[in-house]
Structure 1
Amino acid sequence: MAAATTPSMQEETSNTSSSRSVPFNFSQPPIIEGFNPLPRAKDESFKEKLIRKTKENPFVPLGCLGTAGALMYGLRAFHQGKTRQSQLLMRGRIFAQGFTVVALIVGVIGTALKPKQ
């Protein structure tokens, strides 16, 4: 009796696996109950997104540039043997990193508190 049920089980599983449909349609976003995504006007390029984000929070790129500048100038001073100047510039780099982190946090909080349009 066990031998008779085994072939029919294999036939059923092969029939159901071939007739299954794909669970997700990857060309469309998933439908989530209670969630309505905002329609996008268009896809942005990297440059457009960078400009938009810089306009939204200009202090983050300034902090990044300040950090990179202090690091480069400090490494150059270290290489030249100017230890005092190198130490001051490394401290300036830490200050610029802290400024960048604070700017990121303020930007995130500002975006979260901003009313939706």
Structure 2
Amino acid sequence: MAAAATSAVPDQPLKAQAAGQVPFDLSQPPDIEGFTPLTKIRDESFKEKFLRKTKENPFVPIGCLGTAGALLYGLRAFHQGKTRQSQMLMRGRIFAQGFTVVAIIVGIFATALKPKQSR
């Protein structure tokens, strides 16, 4: 019976850890067998990323500017009491929003179909 109780205990004793001690180093990524993480090339600033994305799909910022312009001008016309002009500008805003959504979808498909570049 004593042999059965000792078989559940491993041959080597467990390392005693103090309370709150972590069994691995948090400053380093974990070492996972068979996994090779991709190296991060470099960080880019907001301005650099915005310019890169605008060059990749210039219709999205154009649609956003059109949407914002129609909204602001339509609200101004509404405030001035020009209801017909305001209504037409709100319809234009809806059109600009649709244009922006289509531009985003086309950009996603174009990016997905583009062959991968090795960096």
TM-score (norm 2): 0.73
Q: Cα gap change, 1:53/1:94 in structure 2, threshold over 3 Å: closer, same or farther? A: same
Q: Distance in 2 between matches of 1:113 and 1:87?
A: 39
* 1:57-72 mapped onto 2 (5 Å cutoff): 57-72=57-72
Higher helix share: 1
* RMSD over aligned Cα atoms: 2.9
Percentage identity across aligned positions?
Answer: 65
Q: Distance in 1 between matches of 2:44 and 2:98?
A: 30
Q: Figure out how many residues of one structure are paired with residues of the other and give that number.
A: 104
1:51 aligned partner: 51
Unaligned runs of 5+ in 1: 1-11
Q: Distance in 2 between matches of 1:49 and 1:70?
A: 26
The alpha carbon displacement at 1:59 in A equals 0.3
TM-score (norm 1): 0.74
Unaligned runs of 5+ in 2: 1-12
Q: Distance in 2 between matches of 1:98 and 1:111?
A: 20
Q: Distance in 2 between matches of 1:16 and 1:80?
A: 73
